[in-house]
């Protein structure tokens, strides 16, 4: 019902746009504004950027009206408000920028209203541009880009805070990781004055302005002389403290987001990364940042996780982060359970917080659980490199059930978007499991909890989906879902290959999957991939699969050849120029009949080969049928792909017509602006003469201002010296206070020691008296003991005689032990022979498992043939019974016995 309402609103909106184009009256403008408000209430933002025809036409019309200067200002503001709602989503921002060129349109609106920057439409455009350009590379060839940069730099120094902050935000987005914009800004004549303005903003009261200014300075001057002074070793610690304070105690999500991006960009510089490893307060800042994971805000958690993953790019920081998160978890978890049972407050654990974010459901915030899984992979990779694996085994017992639970497929069928999310998350989980399986101790833990059934179910879920069951379908090479699914399948197989000797039934399942014909699609996609890791993984799996008897090598070769032919054809079409569009469409429309004709020819040949099956005994008809079926699927998929390409080219032609009309309108507007500028130039010449007189007075005032500035500079130097003295006095005060506290603590300790010593003297006195009494008793006992010693001397002589007898017995036992030693050496030789025989039996077991998998396939084929033979036998039995009944003329008690 909601979809029908959205479609109805879009149709009404398209009609209102057409009516307003034809007649720009107030009634039509009001009607169009009402339709836009209704569309905003339906909440169909994802439908608008879905790429369908009706939503694309509506968005194209709205963007065209925004760029038209003749559009009513109120209507322009309403349209921009709708576009601002759409720009809140990442996918929508990408579509608005790439498909509809909204960035250039908003830049043209700002350029047209540059004379009146306080207009609400200018502020609206800046706010939408700030959302639209965040984390997105804007090409310098975008229309009105130079004018937009000039406008932003000019109004950064504006006293109006409402326009200064969005100008700084847009400029920070444009300068970040964009070499063209950075070069253009650096080539400006007044760039030094612009740098001074940004440096002055570092003392601004708003933390957002400070972060924007620091981000722009880092993008423009990080590798230059100004950046060397600004981010020097003496100043960088203050910058680190400022950034961490904003992240921990920030006044808004936007400020924290830009602070995280700034620190991520700074870490890309090796020198600054080295400064951060030596930052004395980094441990405290890291613990505070990890404490933010305890919150329930997904946006803040995503920013913190992005920062932690970026910190892992520096080896020293990753080691420290690993020791903080994965330190000995066993005793800490036991203490945590005890304190929770007593109701006491416990310190939040960052490892458990990360585990909670990683275990979010599939429909939760995707950035959070993906970043958490990537962070776990980085931390456990550090465990395998430097930290002993025993320190993380206690935490791994908690992590492994969560990871294996994320791999379980849902009970309900998944949509395309949900399946893609599941594949992306499963790929991150498999990356983490592969990292864990690279260490021997953790590999044993994984093998104890992982089952072969889970791996088989994961592969079967992806192979049975419509995006992977394509055979020779060439468009699969351009499908994001099929690429991600193939990546997950190969990673699961790589994990199964590592654990096939440790997990029960893993080896048999692994070889059975490799012999499945559906494995052709993921292997061909990975071998033709642009990522070297995917190609290397596919080659390793192919080396293990090639020796198997039923591996579909011929089908894999045909699939790779079909994909290469499709890529070659697509490259040829993309290299054709737009004027040759009409000529290039002719062979595309003529191709399907030849394709269908070839399909019919193949079917006829296939039927003729089935008729000659009894005559030709040497040809394996089943293999020929498989090859021809795959070729038929490839040709059919090519036909569909070429038909889609034809429709796309027609749509691009219609969009080009609209762009030409828009260009003509903008050209007429530019000519009108040129005439207006000519009249303004004449007025400027008249005002120039008036301003020359004022200029002389201003020069005198400037000289006076210079004198005032010198006095202020001198006063500033005095204040700086006083500030330094204040800092030194403050340091000495803190040192004396620390000494006083130490002395007071030592005094209390000495007093306690004095009291304890007095108590010890009293106890020693009492012990002395008791010892005197005890001494008298010992003297009496000593006399008694002397009498007993005399009796013991006689017994001692008897014991010596017994010892001589025992020594002779000991000699006999030594001879017996030497005989046992020779027997033990013989047993070790036999054990070595048994170990060699055991290795031979393991090799025989592996060959037997391979033969078992192939025999299972042959068994299934023989069962199918046997079923067909039984059906034919039943038919023949019925026919013989009917013939017998007709020949005898009676069916009373007679039966037909067909047993041989």
Q: Give the C-alpha separation, 437 to 456, whole Å.
A: 18
Lowest mean pLDDT among 216-220, 657-661, 728-732, 853-857: 657-661
pLDDT (average), residues 566-573: 73
- What pLDDT score does 617 carry? 39
pLDDT at 898 over 80: no
Query: 216 pLDDT exceeds 90?
Result: yes
pLDDT given for residue 729 in this prediction: 86
Q: Determine contact, residues 96/86, Cβ cutoff 8 Å.
A: yes
Judge whether residue 893 has pLDDT over 60.
no
The per-residue pLDDT for 696 is 78
Cα–Cα dist 359/376, whole Å: 12
| Four-point Cα dihedral 859, 860, 862, 867, nearest 10 | 140
Altogether, the residues listed in the chain come to a count of 900
Q: Is the pLDDT of residue 361 over 70?
A: yes
Residue 614's alpha-carbon distances to 493, 606, 610, 640, 875, in angstroms, are: 41, 14, 8, 37, 22
Is the pLDDT confidence value at 574 over 70?
no
Higher pLDDT, 38 or 609: 38
The answer to whether 51 and 65 are in contact (CB under 8 A) is no
Per-residue CA distances from 305 to 47, 125, 252, 308 (Å): 30, 31, 17, 5
The yes-or-no verdict on residue 647 having pLDDT over 70 is no
**Which among 585, 587, 493, 584 is positioned nearest to 545, based on CA atoms?**
493
> For residues 62 and 106, what is the distance between their CA atoms, to the nearest angstrom?
12
Residue 337 has pLDDT above 50, yes or no: no
* Of residues 361 and 349, more confidently modeled: 361
Query: How far is CA 655 from its chain centroid?
Result: 35
Q: Give 100-109 pLDDT, tens digit per residue.
A: 888 888 988 9
Q: How far apart are CA 335 and CA 352, in angstroms?
A: 14
pLDDT bin (cut points 50, 70, 90) of residue 5 is: low
- Sequence-distant (6+) residues with CB within 8 A of 387 are 319, 322, 323, 326
Predicted confidence band at 229 (pLDDT cuts at 50, 70, 90)?
A: confident
pLDDT at 467 over 70: no
Q: H or E segment at 876?
A: helix 621-888
Q: Residue 491's closest CA among 529, 447, 458?
A: 458
Residue 583 pLDDT more than 60? no
Q: pLDDT confidence of 605, banded at 50, 70, 90?
A: very low
Q: What mean pLDDT is predicted for residues 78-88?
A: 85
Neighbours of 860 (CB within 10 A): 9
Quickly list H helices, 279-415. Answer: 282-291, 298-311, 315-325, 329-342, 350-358, 366-385, 393-407
pLDDT band with cut points at 50, 70 and 90 for residue 473: very low
- Asked if 570 and 648 count as a contact pair (C-beta separation under 8 A), the reply is no
pLDDT mean across residues, the chain:
80
- pLDDT 10s digits, 727-741: 888 888 888 888 888
pLDDT score, position 99: 81
Which pLDDT band, with edges at 50, 70 and 90, does 146 fall under?
A: confident
Q: How far apart are CA 168 and CA 745, in angstroms?
A: 53
pLDDT band at 189 (very low <50, low <70, confident <90, very high): confident
Query: Are the beta carbons of 408 and 418 closer than 8 angstroms?
Result: no
> What's the confidence (pLDDT) of residue 684?
81
Write out the two tokens for 467: 């995006």
pLDDT band with cut points at 50, 70 and 90 for residue 170: very high
- Alpha carbon 102 to its chain's center: 27
State the pLDDT at residue 345: 36
pLDDT tens figures, 397-451: 889 999 999 888 666 667 777 888 888 999 999 999 999 998 888 889 899 999 9
**Among 140-144, 321-325, 328-332, 527-531, whose mean pLDDT is lowest?**
328-332
pLDDT (0 to 100) of residue 472: 40
Residue-level pLDDT at 311 = 93
For the residues 737-761, what does the mean pLDDT come to?
87
Nearest by Cα to 638 from 601, 598, 678: 598
Question: Given CA atoms 619, 621, 622, 625 in this order, what sign does their dihedral have?
Answer: positive
Span 804-810, average pLDDT: 83
Looking at the predicted structure, is the pLDDT value of residue 548 above 50? Answer: yes
- pLDDT value, residue 306: 92
Q: In this model, does residue 879 exceed pLDDT 90?
A: no
106: its two tokens: 């908003």
Residues 642 and 587: beta-carbon distance below 8 Å: no
Band (pLDDT 50/70/90 cuts) for residue 328 is very low
Distance CA 261, CA 132 (A): 16
Out of 162-171, 250-259, 350-359, 605-614, least confident range: 605-614
Please check whether residue 471 is in contact with residue 633, taking contact to mean a CB–CB distance below 8 angstroms: yes
Highest averaged pLDDT of the listed ranges 336-340, 494-498, 687-691: 494-498
Report in angstroms the alpha-carbon separations of 221 from 89, 227, 230, 265.
31, 4, 9, 12
For 491-536, what is each residue's pLDDT tens digit?
999 999 999 899 999 999 999 998 888 888 888 888 888 888 888 8
Average pLDDT score over residue span 374-389:
82
Give the per-residue pLDDT at 494: 92
Lowest mean pLDDT among 429-438, 453-462, 593-602: 593-602
List helix spans (H) across 314-365.
315-325, 329-342, 350-358
Looking at residue 530, its pLDDT comes to 81
For residues 649 and 591, which has the higher predicted lDDT (pLDDT)?
A: 649
Residues 6+ apart with CB under 8 A from 830: none
CB count in 10 Å sphere of residue 719: 10
How far apart CA 494 and CA 435 sit, in angstroms, is 12
Residues 6 or more apart in contact with residue 621 via CB below 8 angstroms: 609, 610, 613
Which pTM does this prediction carry? 0.63
Maximum average pLDDT range among 419-433, 547-561, 680-694, 697-711: 419-433
The Cβ-side half-sphere exposure at 549, using a 13 Å CA radius, reads 12
């Amino acid at each position: 019902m909601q979809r029908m309402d959205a479609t109805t609103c879009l149709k009404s909106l398209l009609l209102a746009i057409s009516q307003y184009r034809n007649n720009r009256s107030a009634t039509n403008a009001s009607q169009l504004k009402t339709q836009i408000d209704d569309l905003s209430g339906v909440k169909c933002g994802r439908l608008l950027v879905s790429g369908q025809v009706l939503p694309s036409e509506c968005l194209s019309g709205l963007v065209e009206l925004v760029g038209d200067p003749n559009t009513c200002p109120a209507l322009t503001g309403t349209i921009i408000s709708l576009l601002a709602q759409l720009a809140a989503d990442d996918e929508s921002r990408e579509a608005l920028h790439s498909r509809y060129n909204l960035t250039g349109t908003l830049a043209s609106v700002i350029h047209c209203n540059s004379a009146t920057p306080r207009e609400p439409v200018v502020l609206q455009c800046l706010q939408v541009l700030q959302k639209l350009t965040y984390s997105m590379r804007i090409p310098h060839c975008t229309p009105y880009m130079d004018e937009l940069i000039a406008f932003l730099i000019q109004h950064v120094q504006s006293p109006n805070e409402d326009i200064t902050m969005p100008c700084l935000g847009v400029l920070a987005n444009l300068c970040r990781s964009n070499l063209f914009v950075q070069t253009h800004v650096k080539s400006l004549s007044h760039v030094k004055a612009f740098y001074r303005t940004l440096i002055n903003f570092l003392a601004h009261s708003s933390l957002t302005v400070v972060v924007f200014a620091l981000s722009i300075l880092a993008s423009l001057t990080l590798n230059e002389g100004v950046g060397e002074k600004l981010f020097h070793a003496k100043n960088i610690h203050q910058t680190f403290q400022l950034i961490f304070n904003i992240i921990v105690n920030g006044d808004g999500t936007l400020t924290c987001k830009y602070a995280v991006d700034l620190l991520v960009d700074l870490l890309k510089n090796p020198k600054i990364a080295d400064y951060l490893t030596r930052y004395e307060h980094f441990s405290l800042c890291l613990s505070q940042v990890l404490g933010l994971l305890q919150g329930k805000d997904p946006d803040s958690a995503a920013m913190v996780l992005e920062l932690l993953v970026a910190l892992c790019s520096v080896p020293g920081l990753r080691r420290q982060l690993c020791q903080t998160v994965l330190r000995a978890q066993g005793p800490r978890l036991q203490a945590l359970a005890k304190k929770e049972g007593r109701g006491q407050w416990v310190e939040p654990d960052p490892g458990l917080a990360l585990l909670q974010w990683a275990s979010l459901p599939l429909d939760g915030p995707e950035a959070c659980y993906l970043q958490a899984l990537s962070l776990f992979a980085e931390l456990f990779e550090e465990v395998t490199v430097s930290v002993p694996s025993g320190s993380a085994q206690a935490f791994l017992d908690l992590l492994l059930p969560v990871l294996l639970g994320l791999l379980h497929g849902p009970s309900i069928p998944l949509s395309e978007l949900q399946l893609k999310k599941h594949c992306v998350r499963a790929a991150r989980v498999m990356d983490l499991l592969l990292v864990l399986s690279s260490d021997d101790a953790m590999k044993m833990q994984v093998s104890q909890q992982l089952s072969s059934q889970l791996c088989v179910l994961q592969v079967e879920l992806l192979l049975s989906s419509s995006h992977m069951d394509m055979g020779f379908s060439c468009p699969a090479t351009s499908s994001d879902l099929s690429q991600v699914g193939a990546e997950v399948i190969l990673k699961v197989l790589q994990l199964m290959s590592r654990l096939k000797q440790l997990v029960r039934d893993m080896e048999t399942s692994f070889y059975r999957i490799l012999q499945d014909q559906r494995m052709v699609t993921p292997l061909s996609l990975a071998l033709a991939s642009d990522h070297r890791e995917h190609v290397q993984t596919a080659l390793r799996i192919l080396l293990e699969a090639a020796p198997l008897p039923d591996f579909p090598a011929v089908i894999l070769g045909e699939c790779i050849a079909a994909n290469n032919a499709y890529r070659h054809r697509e490259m040829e079409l993309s290299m054709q120029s737009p004027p040759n569009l009409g000529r290039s469409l002719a062979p595309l429309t003529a191709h399907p009949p030849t394709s269908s004709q070839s399909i019919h020819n193949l079917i006829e040949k296939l039927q003729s080969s089935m008729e000659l099956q009894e005559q030709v005994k040497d040809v394996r008809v089943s293999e020929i049928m498989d090859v021809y079926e795959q070729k038929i699927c490839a040709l059919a998929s090519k036909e569909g792909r070429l038909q889609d390409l034809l429709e796309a080219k027609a749509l691009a032609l219609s969009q080009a017509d609209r762009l030409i009309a828009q260009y003509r309108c903008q050209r007429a507007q530019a000519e009108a602006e040129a005439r207006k500028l000519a009249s303004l130039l004449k007025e400027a010449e008249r005002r120039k003469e008036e301003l020359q007189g004022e200029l002389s007075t201003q020069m005198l005032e400037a000289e006076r201002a210079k004198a005032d500035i010198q006095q202020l500079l001198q006063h500033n130097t005095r204040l700086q010296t006083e500030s330094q003295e204040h800092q030194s006095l403050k340091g000495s005060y803190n040192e004396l206070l620390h000494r006083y506290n130490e002395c007071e603590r030592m005094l209390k300790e000495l007093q306690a020691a004095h009291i304890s010593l007095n108590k010890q003297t009293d106890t020693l006195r009492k012990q002395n008296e008791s010892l005197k009494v005890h001494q008298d008793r010992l003297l009496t006992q000593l006399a008694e003991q002397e009498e007993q010693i005399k009796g013991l001397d006689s017994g001692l002589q008897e014991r010596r005689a017994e010892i001589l007898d025992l020594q002779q017995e000991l000699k006999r036992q030594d001879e017996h032990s030497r005989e046992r030693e020779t027997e033990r050496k013989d047993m070790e030789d036999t054990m070595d022979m048994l170990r060699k025989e055991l290795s031979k039996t393991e090799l025989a077991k592996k060959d037997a498992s391979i033969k078992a998998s192939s025999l299972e396939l042959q068994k299934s084929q023989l069962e199918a043939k046997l079923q067909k033979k039984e059906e034919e036998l039943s038919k023949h039995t019925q026919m013989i019974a009917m013939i017998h009944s007709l020949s005898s003329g009676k069916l009373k008690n007679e039966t037909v016995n067909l047993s041989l």
